[in-house]
């Protein structure tokens, strides 16, 4: 799921929203869901305040997580306020509940469910990851690395430059720190892509021979959670160009691939298309 959620957005759930201490927004999704799921499964409940059934489902989950003593954690996400999360998780309806373990979706269900069925589903999730994660109830959790905490705090303030500097400092001390490398790639992409005007898509479509315009349009498509469209655009440039133009498009495409888990089906498919375009 690396790169699936736009860390630049700082929208938080509305004041008074259902979720209380369990509420998660785009700014803290990586920390509270993806990273935390390395220790225990995190159950993400996407709901709407306008849907009584989904609000009641959240209440049910709140009761169950309080009773289960840390064997799993709950993250409640108000869908309307956090559309990027809903898009990244490919949510089709509200409410949707997704269990995340080791940074990956494990199981899910859609629609309001009675408490006994929710209980059974949760027990199956906990059983499925038993002994496979780093933490769990009664086990000490790994201490937060203060260097990463500083970077995440900068992100929450909207200080991309400060977060970038924090990750660069980690890499200066540990050049092979993969977590810092990945975060830095994400931040540099965001800093670049956020400067591209919405008109870039139309400009690229009107001038297909303009490689720079195509590269900007691909960045914008990726920022808008359309990775397949971004990849296809650059692969098309690779197919019809040669020399420096082809190298420029291919280099940017490879950079975009690195923003994702390389096992993602759409990344695997795009790499195959790129190979066909090149050879």
Mean pLDDT for 247-259 is 94
pLDDT band at 44 (very low <50, low <70, confident <90, very high): very high
How many residues does the structure list for the chain? 279
Residue 279's Cβ-count burial label (10 Å; 0-12, 13-18, 19+) is exposed
CATH fold for the domain made of 28-129: Glutaredoxin (3.40.30)
Question: Residue 48 in contact with residue 58, Cβ under 8 Å?
Answer: no
In CATH terms, 197-278 corresponds, of 1.25.40, 3.30.420, 3.40.50, 2.20.200, to 1.25.40
pLDDT tens for residues 186-239?
889 988 998 999 999 999 999 999 999 999 999 999 998 899 999 999 999 999
Averaged pLDDT score across all residues of the chain: 85
Residue with the bigger pLDDT between 167 and 6: it is 167
Q: Which residue has the tokens 């400009």?
A: 203
Q: What is the domain partition of the chain in residue ranges?
A: 28-129, 146-193, 197-278
Q: What is the mean pLDDT of residues 100-117?
A: 90
CB 231 within 8 A of CB 258: no
Closest CA to 234 of 197, 248, 224: 248
pLDDT for 135 beyond 90: no
Quick one: pLDDT at residue 69?
83
């Amino acid at each position: 799921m690396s790169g699936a959620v736009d860390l630049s957005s700082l929208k938080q759930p509305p004041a008074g929203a259902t979720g209380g201490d369990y509420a998660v927004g785009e700014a803290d999704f990586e920390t509270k869901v993806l990273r935390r799921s390395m220790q225990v499964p995190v159950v993400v409940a996407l709901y709407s305040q306008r849907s009584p059934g989904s609000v009641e489902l959240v209440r049910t989950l709140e009761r169950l997580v309080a009773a289960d003593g840390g064997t799993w954690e709950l993250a409640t996400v108000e869908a309307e306020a956090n559309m990027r999360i809903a898009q990244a998780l490919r949510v089709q309806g509200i409410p949707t509940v997704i269990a995340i373990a080791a940074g990956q979706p494990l199981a899910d269900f859609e629609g309001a469910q009675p408490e006994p069925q929710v209980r059974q589903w949760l027990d199956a999730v906990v059983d499925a990851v038993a002994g496979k994660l780093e933490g769990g109830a009664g086990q000490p959790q790994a201490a937060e690395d203060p260097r990463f905490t500083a970077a995440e705090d900068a992100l929450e303030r909207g200080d991309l430059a400060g977060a970038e500097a924090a990750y660069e400092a980690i890499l200066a001390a540990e050049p092979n720190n993969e977590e810092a490398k990945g975060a830095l790639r994400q931040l540099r992409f965001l800093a670049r892509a956020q400067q591209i005007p919405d008109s870039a898509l139309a400009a690229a479509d009107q001038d297909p021979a303009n490689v720079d315009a195509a590269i900007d349009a691909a960045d914008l498509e990726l920022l808008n959670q359309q990775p397949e469209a971004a990849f296809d655009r650059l692969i098309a440039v690779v197919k019809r160009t040669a020399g420096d133009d082809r190298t420029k498009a291919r280099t940017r495409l490879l950079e975009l691939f690195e923003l994702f888990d390389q096992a993602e089906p759409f990344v695997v498919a795009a790499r195959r298309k790129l190979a066909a375009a090149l050879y």
